[in-house]
DNA sequence: CATGAATGAGAGTTCATTCAT
DNA sequence: TATGAATGAACTCTCATTCAT
């Protein structure tokens, strides 16, 4: 039996409204912090009343969860989409980096707030964990298929993922003056290629 | 322009009390989240009254700032201490990694909460930025002195710092099953050495 | 001075709908408490929209008032109906008790909630007062006509009414284990006959 | 392990304050209804801030429970106190009636609101049930010891209790005009004596 | 006539901060 | 200095009522 209090909007306008609340709410929470964002803030920014929020969402946290899932999808989908069988591993790698950078740009400050909530909220932690797992599994698969040595692949993949994550963060926020974007990206891809070693076959 | 309300404790016992509040408070905030930690929790855990906290600190955030500064010092000091002129660059590198891992272990979950607060609090952001700057500058200096090619050194250093950061995080929390600690560390140091390239003057 | 907002339904279907709202709403309010019953609950249970309720009723309280009046009628009517001139006083008494027990069974928990609302709502208090008055007056009349001594009749009638009320309550809810229904009823009727004393004439 | 959020006041002033909140809160809830009484109302009437209420009580309902327990104690204690071995059964009966009337006078409107909450709150229902049980058991014991016929004693006691309850209610609130207090009381005691029958051992 | 999405005032509760002792 | 009781603004969430369709 479904939740009886919140309802799934059927009308087009309602769906748009629900999405507007998710987008606005998640953005505010990520920009200003989960706790500092009040339901009144979200309602005002989304142009709705506070009451309607509780027609679509169980509670404030529910908005964040929905936003987080959209965020995860936004990060994952392009990866699946861009990796086609005819792509060589280097192009695929670049496609993945592009995807993640784009995801960061769209969701701005999301990452830090999510990481913090990960500590105290198991559901949120679970979603993030699963997302990261999907991405790294995808990377491992890609590399294994391309014939790269599978030795220490999980460890290498994890490190590569973190390298790309950090790169995305810097390229998105430019917190450190004097760093050259192109150079950063070049170094990261070089490093990943170094980590990959040479393909075993050929 | 001194703060008139809070005072700098002169007595030995008072100093101990202030430090106890900082340590306990910062730990609780990092473990359970800044917002979820109440001043009452801190007072109880530190064995003091809620009132006395406001003799030593301007507000709750002030406790966090003090804790953060201690944390930063804790991360930085060992780096300075362990890098002696007679050390070769590889040993120095390992010493730095050891220092940062240790720092992570001591301050546990601190990082995530700090990162989140960085977004909305400029002072906190400033402290973290300065700390990272100090570490990377130290690394750059170390490497330059050791005769490594200074080309793209800021970019490389930044990437190395992130590599080590991620490593520390994984070694401390072991969030991802199936990853081998020793291998991870080996790969990271290998990667750093790869990034360093060869010293210009052989 | 007619209410301009709500209207008196003319169509047969509308009348049925209004009655369904009254029945369902009053039942829910009595079972779960007035405050705990929401207009959404009533609408859902009655199979109508929340909006339509405000076409038939001024507000939520109005539904209760209507239900209460129906309840009062339900308690009173059988008393009038069952007391025919040819009935002796003892049979009439039993008929009244039967009527009240039946009323209780139909409206279940109504009494307690009504009593509580009586305190704060003068209209509700008035309806209940009037109902009780009708019943006791009816009793007084019945007894006077049957030739019983009219000394202290109002006081006696009031006490008899309460006796029957309590009896009905216990017979309906059986809250106290170990009490025998038949014995209770027997004792109550015996007590009433004791209270009545002997008819003056004959 | 005790509740960690609410504390048991140790200081005399604190105990007084807690009691003031209970008295004021319970009175307001009984006079105006549980739902209509807000925590702000209680705080204002008790001359405290809303916050302090939650130092002494888990929630609003907790205040009511405390008040209810005090009410029950107030009803029961005088019964135990006034029934001494040397008292004949008629004097004891009068003592009980006096006790209950007094209880009603002190707690005013309490009864109705309590009855209503009994429906939806098991804890409240339990307290009331236990109180009534204590009183009826006391009555049964008293009568059995006095040598009255124990036939149908539980049923008779229950009816007597209700008789007294109704009497108290009327004597306290005088809702029905034209009824004479003294006569009412006389009739009730007469009825009880009738119910008692004659002591078995002459 | 009917719908049910939308409103927004107001509820209970929390907690950083203050202050009488 | 130190206490912890007290404050009250601000939070999340509810629901009787309204209104666009």
Q: Residue A159's pLDDT band (boundaries 50, 70, 90)?
A: very high
Residues B9-18, mean pLDDT to the nearest whole number: 82
pLDDT at B31 over 60: yes
Burial of residue A88 (CB within 10 Å: 0-12, 13-18, 19+) is exposed
pLDDT greater at residue A7 or residue B132: B132
Q: Which residue in this structure is represented by tokens 């970019």? A: B155
User: What's the first-to-final CA gap in chain D, in angstroms?
Assistant: 57
* Chain C environment of D194 (Cβ under 8 Å): 191, 194
The answer to which of A35-49, B152-166, C108-122, D12-26 has the lowest mean pLDDT is C108-122
Label each residue of chain A as H, E or C. CCCCCCCCCCCHHHHHHHHHHHHHHHHHHHHHCCCCCCHHHHHHHHCCCHHHHHHHCCCHHHHHHHHHHHHHHHHHHHHHHHCCCCCCHHHHHHHHHHHHHHHHHHHCCHHHHHHHHHHHCHHHHHHHHHHHHHHHHHHHHHHHHCCECCCCHHHHHHHHHHHHHHHHHHHHHCCCCCCCHHHHHHHHHHHHHHHHCCECCC
Two domains, one topology: C12-64 and C77-196: no
pLDDT at B2 over 50: no
pLDDT of residue D175: 75
| Chain F bases near protein Cβ (<7 Å) | 1-20
Contacts of C29 (CB under 8 A, 6+ apart): C37, C63, C64, C67, C113
pLDDT of residue C202: 46
Q: What residue ranges do the domains of chain D occupy? A: 12-64, 77-196
Which among A31, A35, A178 has CB closest to B154?
Answer: A178
Tell me what the pLDDT averaged over chain B comes to: 84
Measure Cα distances from B182 to A174, B106, B173, D168 in Å: 33, 20, 15, 83
pLDDT greater at residue B153 or residue D82: B153
The rounded Cα D17 to chain-centroid distance in angstroms is: 23
pLDDT of residue B202: 45
The C-alpha atoms of residue B7 and residue B47 are separated, in whole angstroms, by 20
Q: How many helices (H) and strands (E) does chain B have?
A: 9, 0
Closest to A28 measured CA to CA, from A19, A40, A37? A37
Residues D96-114, mean pLDDT to the nearest whole number: 76
pLDDT of residue B173: 76
Q: Residue B177's pLDDT band (boundaries 50, 70, 90)?
A: confident
Strand partners, D199: D148
Residues C38-66, mean pLDDT to the nearest whole number: 96
Superfamily of domain D12-64: Homeodomain-like (1.10.10.60)
Strand E contacts (CB < 7 A) among A residues 27-56?
48-52, 55
Closest to A18 measured CA to CA, from A27, A9, A26? A9
Closest chain B residue to A136 measured between Cα atoms? B176
In the complex, which nucleotide's C1' lies nearest to the CA atom of residue A36?
F11
The C-alpha atoms of residue A27 and residue A38 are separated, in whole angstroms, by 12
* Long-range CB contacts (within 8 A, 24+) of D7-14: D7/D55, D7/D56, D9/D56
Q: Residue B10's pLDDT band (boundaries 50, 70, 90)?
A: low
Show the tokens assigned to C61.
């309280």
Q: Residue B56's pLDDT band (boundaries 50, 70, 90)?
A: very high
Residues B65-81, mean pLDDT to the nearest whole number: 84
Residues D150-157, mean pLDDT to the nearest whole number: 85
**Residue D48 carries which DSSP code?**
S
Q: Which residue in this structure is represented by tokens 């959404």? A: C40
Round to a whole number and report the distance in Å from the CA of C43 to the C1' of F17.
Answer: 14
* B111, B124, B159, B197, best to mutate vs chain A, most A CBs in 10 Å: B159
pLDDT of residue A106: 67
Q: How many helices (H) and strands (E) does chain C have?
A: 9, 0
Measure Cα distances from C146 to C87, C150, C153, C156, C192 in Å: 10, 10, 13, 15, 14
Do chains C and B meet with 3 or more Cβ pairs nearer than 8 Å?
A: no
Residues B184-199, mean pLDDT to the nearest whole number: 86
Q: Do A119 and B129 touch (CB under 8 A)?
A: no
- What element of type H or E holds B126? helix B122-145
pLDDT greater at residue A112 or residue C85: A112
pLDDT of residue D173: 76
Show the tokens assigned to B82.
């362990």
Residues in chain D: 202
The tens digit of pLDDT for each residue in A63-91 reads: 999 999 998 888 887 777 766 667 677 78
Residues A144-156, mean pLDDT to the nearest whole number: 82
Cβ contact D148:D196 at 8 Å = yes
pLDDT greater at residue C8 or residue D53: D53
Residues C121-138, mean pLDDT to the nearest whole number: 87
Q: Residue A180's pLDDT band (boundaries 50, 70, 90)?
A: very high
pLDDT of residue B100: 80
The tens digit of pLDDT for each residue in B97-116 reads: 887 887 777 676 777 788 88
Tell me what the pLDDT averaged over chain C comes to: 83
pLDDT of residue C172: 79
pLDDT greater at residue C171 or residue B188: B188
Cβ contact D19:D9 at 8 Å = no
pLDDT of residue B123: 93
Burial of residue C110 (CB within 10 Å: 0-12, 13-18, 19+) is buried
Verify if strand E has an atom below 7 Å from the CB of C50.
Answer: yes
Which among C129, C152, C187 has CB closest to D183?
Answer: C152
pLDDT of residue B165: 86
Show the tokens assigned to D70.
């005090």
pLDDT at B26 over 70: yes
pLDDT of residue C1: 46
Verify if strand F has an atom below 7 Å from the CB of D50.
Answer: yes
* Chain B environment of A155 (Cβ under 8 Å): 179-180, 183-184, 187
* Chain B environment of A33 (Cβ under 8 Å): 116-117, 119-120
Strand E contacts (CB < 7 A) among B residues 36-95?
36-40, 50-51, 53-54, 59-61
Q: Do C191 and D31 touch (CB under 8 A)?
A: no
Residues B9-35, mean pLDDT to the nearest whole number: 89
Q: Residue A2's pLDDT band (boundaries 50, 70, 90)?
A: very low
Chains in contact with C, where contact requires at least 3 CB pairs less than 8 Å apart:
D
In the complex, which nucleotide's C1' lies nearest to the CA atom of residue B50?
F4
pLDDT greater at residue D165 or residue C84: D165
Q: Enumerate chain B positions whose Cβ falls within 8 A of a Cβ in A.
A: 31-33, 35-36, 109, 112-113, 115-120, 129, 152, 154-156, 158-159, 162-163, 165-167, 170, 175-176, 178-180, 183-184, 187-188, 191, 194-195
pLDDT of residue D187: 93
pLDDT of residue B1: 45
Burial of residue D174 (CB within 10 Å: 0-12, 13-18, 19+) is exposed
The tens digit of pLDDT for each residue in C54-107 reads: 999 999 999 999 999 998 888 787 777 766 667 677 777 787 788 777 777 766
**Residue B4 carries which DSSP code?**
S
Tell me what the pLDDT averaged over chain A comes to: 84
The rounded Cα C7 to chain-centroid distance in angstroms is: 27
Q: Residue D10's pLDDT band (boundaries 50, 70, 90)?
A: low
The C-alpha atoms of residue A108 and residue D65 are separated, in whole angstroms, by 51
Closest to C135 measured CA to CA, from C105, C106, C104? C104
pLDDT at C29 over 60: yes
pLDDT at D183 over 90: yes
Show the tokens assigned to D25.
């809160």
Please tell me the number of Cα atoms within 13 Å of B172 on its side-chain side. 22
Chains in contact with A, where contact requires at least 3 CB pairs less than 8 Å apart:
B
The tens digit of pLDDT for each residue in A28-50 reads: 998 888 999 999 999 999 999 99
Q: Do A170 and B158 touch (CB under 8 A)?
A: yes
The C-alpha atoms of residue D98 and residue D116 are separated, in whole angstroms, by 25
In the complex, which nucleotide's C1' lies nearest to the CA atom of residue D18?
F5
Maximum average pLDDT range among B87-96, C183-192, D79-88: C183-192
pLDDT of residue C48: 96
The tens digit of pLDDT for each residue in D24-82 reads: 999 999 888 899 999 999 999 999 999 999 999 999 999 999 999 998 888 887 777 77
pLDDT of residue C32: 87
pLDDT of residue B50: 97
pLDDT at B73 over 50: yes
Measure Cα distances from A112 to A29, A184, B118, B144, D86 in Å: 11, 21, 9, 33, 80
pLDDT at D9 over 70: no
pLDDT at A110 over 60: yes
pLDDT at D2 over 50: no
The tens digit of pLDDT for each residue in C147-159 reads: 777 788 889 989 9
pLDDT at C30 over 70: yes
* Chain D environment of C162 (Cβ under 8 Å): 162-163, 166
pLDDT at A1 over 50: no
The C-alpha atoms of residue D78 and residue D96 are separated, in whole angstroms, by 8
Round to a whole number and report the distance in Å from the CA of A156 to the C1' of E16.
Answer: 46
Tell me what the pLDDT averaged over chain D comes to: 84
Cβ contact D30:D110 at 8 Å = yes
pLDDT of residue B146: 78
% of residues, chain A, pLDDT over 90: 35
CATH topology of domain C77-196: Tetracycline Repressor; domain 2 (1.10.357)
pLDDT of residue A36: 92
| Chain E bases near protein Cβ (<7 Å) | 1-20
pLDDT of residue A81: 72
């Amino acid at each position: 039996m479904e939740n009886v209090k919140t309802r799934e909007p059927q009308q087009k306008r309602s769906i748009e409204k629900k999405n507007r609340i998710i987008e606005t709410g998640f953005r505010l929470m990520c920009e200003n912090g989960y706790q500092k964002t009040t339901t009144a803030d979200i309602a005002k920014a989304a142009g709705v009343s506070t009451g309607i929020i509780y027609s679509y969402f169980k509670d404030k946290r529910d908005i964040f969860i929905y936003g987080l899932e959209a965020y995860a999808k936004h990060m994952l989908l392009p990866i699946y989409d861009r990796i086609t069988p005819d792509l060589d591993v280097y192009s695929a790698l670049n496609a993945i980096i592009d995807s993640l950078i784009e995801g960061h740009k769209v969701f701005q400050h999301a990452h830090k707030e999510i990481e913090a909530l990960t500590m105290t909220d198991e559901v949120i932690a679970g979603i993030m964990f699963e997302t990261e797992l999907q991405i790294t599994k995808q990377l491992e698969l890609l590399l294994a298929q391309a014939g790269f040595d599978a030795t220490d692949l999980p460890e290498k993949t994890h490190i590569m993922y973190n390298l790309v994550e950090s790169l995305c963060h810097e390229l998105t926020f430019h917190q450190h003056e004097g760093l050259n974007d192109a150079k950063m990206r070049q170094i990261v891809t070089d490093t990943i290629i170094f980590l990959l070693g040479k393909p075993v076959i050929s």
